[in-house]
Amino acid sequence: MLPAILVITILGGLFGLGLGWASRRFQVESDPVIDQIEAILPQTQCGQCNYPGCRPYAEAIANGEADINQCAPGGEAGIIALADLLAVEPKSLNPANGEEKPKALAVIDEMVCIGCTLCIQACPVDAILGASKYMHTVIDSECTGCELCLPPCPVDCIDMVVKDQGTGDWKWPKPQVIAMNLHENHP
Amino acid sequence: MTQIDRLTQARQAGEQLHHFHGGLRLRHNKKISCELPLEPMPLPPRFYVPLLQHSGPEAKANVSIGQTVLKGERIGLGSHPGRGCIHAPTSGTVKALARRAISHPSGLEGLCVVIEPDGLDQWKKLEPIGDWNNAPPSELRQKISDSGIVGLGGAVFPTSVKVEEASEKGIHTLILNGSECEPYISCDEMLMREQPDSIILGARILQRAVGANRTIIAIEDQMGAVNQALMAAVTESGAGDIDIVTVTTIYPEGGEKQLIQVLTGLEVPSGGRPSDLGLLCQNVATATAVARAVVEGKPLIERIVTVTGNGISKPRNLLARIGTPIECLIDQCGGYTENAARLILGGPMMGYALDSDSNPVIKAANCILVLSDFDIRPPQAEMPCIRCGECARVCPALLLPQQLHWQISNQQWDETAKYGLSDCIECGCCDFVCPSHIPLVEWFRFGQDQLRSLATDRKQAEEAKQKFEAREARLARTKLERKQRMDEKKRALRDEAERKRKLAEAVDRSRSRQDKEA
C-alpha cells in the first residue's frame, strides 16, 4: 500500500514538474485563436463592429463576447471564413454594423480642404499626407476605405469613391446556373 | 526522383516521347483553312490599336492626337520596361485616343490609338542587329524587349520577361511549340509551312539570347508537309543543334506544361516554371517575331490569324496588322455565310465570344472562329454532379474538377488552393465531357480570379495591420515622450522652488546671525 502511494505521489510530482517546465518552455505569447481570427478580418480598423479595431474584435469573438457577423468590410466571405474556423453556422451580416459595399477609396477635394489635419489624426493607417494649413491628400494605395476620416472633416471635403473597374481589375463573374425545368414540355 | 535525376532527364528532352494524363481526341477541322495560301491583308481605312495587349497593366500612350507616326514607331509605353510596348502598324496620323472595345474577354472598353493610314506604309528608321551571331546575348534580349514581343500562342505573356528569367536561371534546351492542338486553329501550321526559314533563324537567335545548347521544335503528327519544310530549312541553315519532334495529336498537348511532359516525362512543379527544369518554351510564331526584330529591326506589328469556321465563306489564314478591325478580315474571306451564328476569338475550346466584329485584331488573336447554328450546342440546363469522375479522367493537370467545383460553389477558397485550382490551365476538357452540363471551366475561371483577389486582399490587410500597429506604437511613444517632458519640466520647477526656498532660508539665517551679532 505504502510503496504504491509513494510511487504515485512521486510520479505525479515528476509529471507536474514536467508540465510546469513545458508550459514555460513552450509558452505561446498570445492565444492562437485570436491570431487566426485576426488574420481573417480585413484590418480596416474601421470600428463598425463596435470595437476599437480588428484586434479587439478578434479578442471579443474569441472570448465569446461578440458574434461573427459584425464585420461589414469583411462581408459574407469573411463571415463564412470565420464560421469555418470556429465551426459554427454562418449568419448574414448584422445590419446594425453597416452593409457590405464595394471597396471605395477616400478622395479629398483639394480645392475645399482647409488643412486642419483632423482627418490625418483620424486615419488609422497613416494614409493621409499633409500638414497644418497645407492641402491634404490621400495615398490611394494605402487607403483601406474605413471612412473614419469622413466625420471629423469640418468642411465635408472627403468623398468615398468606388474604384473604376477597368480591364485590369476585371474578374470572371460567377457562372449563371441554368436552372433545370422539371415541367419542360419536350417536343 | 531526386532533383539531379530530374534535371538529367530534362536534358534528354525529346529523345523519347511520353504521355500526359487525360486529354481528348477532337475532330481537327484544320484543313478548311489550310487550302488557300497565306495572304497579307490590305490596309484598312482605320487602325484601332488597343493599349492593353499583354497580360499585365495597360500601356501608356506616348502619342498625341494629330501627330503623324511612322510604321513601327512606338505609340504605347509598357508599365515596366520591356512589358507590353505597342508600335504603330503603319504610317499615318493619330486621329484619336478613344475608349473602344478591345477584344478582351470582359467585353469592357479600353484605350485605343486610332490611326488613319497615309497609304505610304513608310517604316521608321530600322535598327537591326546585323551580326547577331556575335552580338552579346544581353543586346539580343534588349531588342526583344524593345520590340513589344509577347507569346503569340495566345497567353500573350511578355517574351522579354520570360527570356530574362530563363537566361538568369540557365537554360539548356529551347522548345519551340508548333503543336497547336486546338481544333480549327492553323496559323502556326501555315507559318511553319510558308516561313520555315524565319522560324529556324528565330530559334537560333533565341538560343543565343538565353544561352541554350539546343532547340526542339515540336509539331503534330497531323501536319503533313510541315516536317519536310522545317527539315529542309534546318539543313539549309546548317544548324546541327535543332531537332524536330513529332508528337501525337491529343488535345491539349500544345499546352506548355503538357508539351514538356510529353517531351521529358517530367511535370513542371506546381507554381513553378519550365525554367526550373532548364527549359524554355516559346511559340513558333514568337520565334519568327524575334527573328524579324533582331535581323530586320522590325517590332511586332502583325501576326498570322486563322479566319475559319462554318460561318465563313472562304476560310483561310491572313497576315493581319495589329489593330485591323475584325470585319475587314472577314470581308477578305468572302464574308459570313447565311447561317453564321457566333463570333469567337481563339479556338472552340479556350476562345471567348466577341459581341461585335468591329473589335480590333490583337496580339493574342490567333484565330477568328465563326460558328454556324449547327455547331453550337444549345444552352443546357445544369444538372447535379453525379460524381461519375469523367472530368478527373480527362484532366491534363491531374486535378479533381468535381471536387473543385463543389469547393468553389461553397466558397471554400483555402480548400480549392489545396486541391490545386491555380494549376488549372482552363483547357475545357472537363467541361466538354461533363454529362451534367456543368460549365466547369467558367467555375474555375471565376474561382482562380477569386483566389487571386483573395491573396491580394490578404496582402493588403497584412500591410494595413502593420501600418496600424506602427501608428499605434508611434502614438504610444509620443505620448510617453510628452509625459517625460512634462515630468522633467515639473521636476525642474520643483527644483527651482526648492532652490529659491533654500536661498531664502540661507538669507534668513545670515540675517538672523547678523541681527544677533548686532
pLDDT at site B317: 94
B95 near B47, Cβ under 8 Å?
Answer: no
Q: In angstroms, rounded to a whole number, what is the distance separating the alpha carbons of residues B126 and A183?
A: 68
Mean pLDDT of A133-160: 91
Kindly indicate the confidence band of residue A30, based on its pLDDT and cuts at 50, 70 and 90.
low
Kindly indicate the confidence band of residue A90, based on its pLDDT and cuts at 50, 70 and 90.
confident
User: Who has greater pLDDT, A169 or B375?
Assistant: B375
- Say if residue B404 is in the same domain as residue B277: no
Q: Structure pTM?
A: 0.83
- Say if residue B313 is in the same domain as residue B411: no
CATH number of the structural domain spanning residue A50:
1.10.15
Residue A152 belongs to domain spanning: 104-162
- Say if residue A114 is in the same domain as residue A59: no
Q: And the C-alpha cell for A127?
A: 494614409
Nearest CA in chain A to B58: A168
Contacts of A167 in chain B (CB under 8 A): 52, 58, 102, 104, 106, 108, 110
- Look at residue A176 and tell me if it is in a domain: no
pLDDT digits (tens, 9 = 90+) for B479-489: 999 999 999 99
- Say if residue A85 is in the same domain as residue A109: no
Of the three residues A70, A97, A124, the one that is the final residue of a domain is A97
User: Is A10 in the B-facing interface, judged by CB distances under 8 Å?
Assistant: no
Measured CA to CA in angstroms, residue A14 lies from A2, A4, A8, A77, A90 at distances of 18, 15, 10, 48, 45
In this predicted structure, the answer to whether residue A24 has a pLDDT above a threshold of 70 is yes
Of the three residues B419, B434, B453, the one that is the final residue of a domain is B453
- Look at residue B102 and tell me if it is in a domain: no
pLDDT digits (tens, 9 = 90+) for B322-334: 999 999 999 999 9
Of the three residues B403, B433, B453, the one that is the final residue of a domain is B453
Mean pLDDT of A141-167: 87
Percent of the residues in chain B that have a pLDDT greater than 90, as a whole number: 61
CB pairs under 8 A between A and B: 81
Mean pLDDT of B217-221: 92
- Say if residue B303 is in the same domain as residue B434: no
Question: Which residues 379-398 on chain B approach chain A with CB closer than 8 angstroms?
Answer: 379-383
Of the three residues B407, B430, B453, the one that is the final residue of a domain is B453
Q: Which residues contact B484 (CB under 8 A, 6 or more apart)?
A: none
- Say if residue A75 is in the same domain as residue A110: no
In this predicted structure, the answer to whether residue B43 has a pLDDT above a threshold of 90 is yes
Q: Which residues contact A49 (CB under 8 A, 6 or more apart)?
A: A57, A66, A70, A71, A72, A97
pLDDT digits (tens, 9 = 90+) for B263-275: 998 889 888 889 9
Of the three residues A67, A82, A97, the one that is the final residue of a domain is A97
Residue to test with chain B: of A36, A38, A43, most B Cβ within 10 A: A43
User: Who has greater pLDDT, B59 or B369?
Assistant: B369
Q: And the C-alpha cell for B135?
A: 552580338
- Say if residue A144 is in the same domain as residue A108: yes
- Say if residue B309 is in the same domain as residue B228: yes
CATH number of the structural domain spanning residue A110:
3.30.70.20
Of the three residues A97, A119, A148, the one that is the final residue of a domain is A97
Mean pLDDT of A95-112: 87
What is the number of domains present in chain A?
A: 2
B207 near B167, Cβ under 8 Å?
Answer: no
pLDDT at site B313: 93
CA distance B178 to chain A (A): 29
- Say if residue A127 is in the same domain as residue A92: no
Burial class from Cβ neighbours inside 10 Å (0-12, 13-18, 19+) for residue B137 reads middle
- Say if residue A93 is in the same domain as residue A38: yes
- Look at residue B111 and tell me if it is in a domain: no
Contacts of B449 in chain A (CB under 8 A): 171-172
In this predicted structure, the answer to whether residue A184 has a pLDDT above a threshold of 60 is no
In this predicted structure, the answer to whether residue A186 has a pLDDT above a threshold of 60 is no
Q: And the C-alpha cell for B502?
A: 533654500
- Look at residue A183 and tell me if it is in a domain: no
Q: In angstroms, rounded to a whole number, what is the distance separating the alpha carbons of residues A175 and A170?
A: 15
Residue B396 belongs to domain spanning: 390-453
What is the number of domains present in chain B?
A: 2
Mean pLDDT of B12-26: 88
CA B123 to chain centre: 28
Contacts of A186 in chain B (CB under 8 A): none
- What's chain B's average pLDDT? 90
pLDDT digits (tens, 9 = 90+) for B360-400: 999 999 999 999 988 888 888 888 999 999 999 999 999 99
pLDDT at site B286: 95
- Look at residue B163 and tell me if it is in a domain: yes
pLDDT at site A183: 56
pLDDT at site A74: 87
